[in-house]
Structures are given as structure tokens and as C-alpha cells.
Amino acid sequence: MADRAAVPTKDYGRQNALLWSELQAAVADAMQHDKPVLGRAVGEFEDELAGFFGKRHAIGVGSGTDALLLALRAHGIGEGSDVLTCSHTFAGVLSAILLAGARPVLVPPEPVFGQLDAGLLEDRVTERTRAIVAVHFYGHPVDTDAVAAFARQRGLVLIEDCAQAHGATWRGRPVGSHGDIATLSFHPSKNLGAFGDGGAVLTDSAAVADQLRVWRNLGKTGKYDFGALAANTKLDTLQAAILRVKLRHLQRFVTRRSELAKRYLRGLDGVGDLRLPAVHPLATHAWHLFVVRTPRRDELKAFLAARGVRSGLHYPVAAHAQPGIGPLLDGARCPQAEAWAASVLTLPLSHEHRDDEIDRVIEAVRAFYSERP
């Protein structure tokens, strides 16, 4: 009765089964031969990760949010600084900017890819603007040429948030390699996910890397020396051991995601009022999320659920409208981001999905539009 089982949005058990013997061996090796905290696996993973992204240094930390917070601090961005970022985003991006003591300045998304609209940066820049946090949202790169050129011309720090974009490229080079500093999340849901929380910062600067290694570890500069004031946010040895295995397969998994995305794009082309994701000609998409848009989103979501097709929302409430964040933004609004929030629907797409599951989703979506035109 396998064909009656629901199509999940993700299946971590199945995903781990794809690499089971390698994961088991890596975890066993770490537990038998490595240190639990800042073990050998952490350093090895950091080197391999830096290599994959084309940056000199990677520093493993406790989460993607902490990575962003530390990246801002490493460039002196805090109290008194404005940070430009897209309003159509993951709420945690705004949290990190606020936690750093800076003020997020919201830039609306452009209408095609839903990314930071580089054409509007000029408009939003203030005397206090110090940085741009460019989120490669859903796994699709921002217009990196335009954003990097603007940052250079204005002397702004360009921080690339690659939490959703492991494996995406711009002009054939990995996202994360274009700006001054980049951040990653290894939340289990991401393309490169740990079995728990984790994150990393990527930089070419040895000085910044040294600073971050102190800041992730209580500010410790020696066994008994607390040379800086800092919290404790290290990437665990066990997570690093797991991530080393998964990084070796990342490219293959992103290729698989892209095959499934093409299957959707063929199967759903021209169906109803559905707007499908587009890919910029200079970009490759990491296909972290396959996000479609329709004004009948809630109706479609319920229809799919009744047919055993799970779907997601990324995200149903605009970040600036969140109760814990909005009040800290001086009443900032963004109708474009609110329109995206009201119409997005994430269809199941992960490297562990089978072709027949994607076909079932396509059939169910087509049935919705033929049964309820």
C-alpha cells in the first residue's frame, strides 16, 4: 500500500537511510576516537566546507542565526548601524540583525525571483548604512553582480546568508564566495543538514577567523583565559562528523533536487493560475524549497492534504509582521512581502523524494484546477 502513504514534505529517516553505513561509521568513529567538543572532526569539516564554498576559512558555530550575529559583529556592525536586507525573508535574519544591536532596513523583493531588489538599494541607503545581508532565499541566488557592485561603490560590507542555498552558484561560482563574509545553517531541514542545530561562518580573513574562534567559545583565548566577552556557540563534534559525510554527497543531492524541480516545472507548466519558480540565467538554483504562488493558496493546500500530499509555507507571516520583531522596526511595512506571504505554497521536494511521489503531487495539483476551476 506504499502508494497510499502520504507524500511527506521531508523524511529524515529516509534521508539518513541513503547514507546509513557511512553515517554510522562516522558517528562511531567520533564517539570512540574523537573529543566530544571541538574534536578533530570539527576542524576537518571546516576545511572541507571552506573548500566547497571557495573561501579560505570556515568556523563552525551553534546555528545559522548565531553565524549571522557573529558575522555582523566581526565587521563591527551593531549599535548605530543600519543593515539593508530583503523584507521577503526568514524572520530569524531580522532577529540576528536586531540582536547585534543594528537596525534592519527593509528592501522589497523584486517580482520575478522574490529576491532582494538591487534596484531599490539606492533608495533605502542612509547615513548609518553599514552592511547588506543578502539572503539567497529558497536556494536561488540574489542578483549578486548588482548587489556586490552597490556594496563596493558604497563601501558596505556584503554578508551572504547561504542558509538555504548550499550548492547554488552565480556565474558558475558558489554563493558565499562573492561577498565579504558568508553564513550557513545546518538545521536538519537545509540542503546540508545536521541531526540537530549547527551553522558556520565563511571568510577569507585570517584575523576575522581567529576572532570568531574566540567568540564561539566563551571568549576564551587560553585554557583559563577569557580574553573577550562572548557566549558559547560551537558546532558539536558529532554534528561535524555527520556533516562531513553529507558534504561529500551534497553536489549529487543538489543535482537530484534539480531533476525533481524540472519534473515539477514540466508537469505544472501552464496549470491554472499557478506561478512557478524561475531561475536567473546567471544562476543555478539549490532547490532548497520549491515554492509556487497562487491567490488560492489555502484552498489548494487543503485540497492536497485531503489527497495525502503534504505541503509547507515559507513563510505564512511576513517577517516584519511577526509580534516579536515588528514592534522593533519602527512600524516598517512592506506590502510586497505581505503579498508573497499570502500566496506562497511549498511543494514537497527533497533529495530523498522518489519520482512517483513528485508525479502524485503534480496529479493532485492538476486535479485541483480541473475540479475547481
Stretch that binds ligand PLP, among 104-112, 121-129, 160-168, 217-225 (CB under 6 A): 160-168
Residue placing its CB nearer to ligand PLP in the complex, 80 or 324: 324
Asked whether 304 and 363 are in contact (CB, 8 A), the reply is no
Q: Which of 7, 72, 77, 135 binds ligand PLP (CB under 6 A)?
A: 135
Q: Residue 227: which H helix or E strand, with range? A: none
Minimum CB–partner distance for residue 151 and ligand PLP (Å): 18
> What are 216-223's contacts with CB under 8 Å, separation 24+?
216/59, 216/60, 216/61, 216/62, 216/66, 216/70, 217/38
Stretch that binds ligand PLP, among 61-69, 144-152, 266-274, 325-333 (CB under 6 A): 61-69
User: What contacts 321, CB < 8 A, 6 or more positions away?
Assistant: 338, 341
Residue in the block written with cell 580573513: 205
Residue placing its CB nearer to ligand PLP in the complex, 22 or 322: 322
Please classify residue 265 by burial: count the beta carbons closer than 10 Å to its beta carbon, then call 0-12 exposed, 13-18 middle and 19+ buried. middle
**# residues near ligand PLP by CB under 6 A:** 14
What CA–CA distance (Å, rounded) separates 24 from 80?
48
Stretch that binds ligand PLP, among 145-153, 156-164, 171-179, 349-357 (CB under 6 A): 156-164
Q: Which of 45, 52, 57, 65 binds ligand PLP (CB under 6 A)?
A: 65
Quote the cell numbers at residue 25. 561509521
Residue placing its CB nearer to ligand PLP in the complex, 110 or 160: 160
Minimum CB–partner distance for residue 288 and ligand PLP (Å): 8
63 touches ligand PLP (CB under 6 A): yes
Distances 89 to 5, 10, 162 between C-alpha atoms, Å: 32, 21, 12
Residue placing its CB nearer to ligand PLP in the complex, 93 or 238: 93
Q: Which of 57, 75, 140, 187 binds ligand PLP (CB under 6 A)?
A: 187
Q: Which of 129, 164, 239, 294 binds ligand PLP (CB under 6 A)?
A: 164
- CB crowding 342-361: b at 16 or more within 10 Å, else e: ebbbbbbbbbbbeeebbebb
Q: With H, G, I as helix, E, B as strand and everything else as coil, classify residue 260.
A: helix
What CA–CA distance (Å, rounded) separates 120 from 117?
6
197 touches ligand PLP (CB under 6 A): yes
97 touches ligand PLP (CB under 6 A): no
143 touches ligand PLP (CB under 6 A): no
34 touches ligand PLP (CB under 6 A): no
Minimum CB–partner distance for residue 359 and ligand PLP (Å): 28
Residue placing its CB nearer to ligand PLP in the complex, 9 or 359: 9
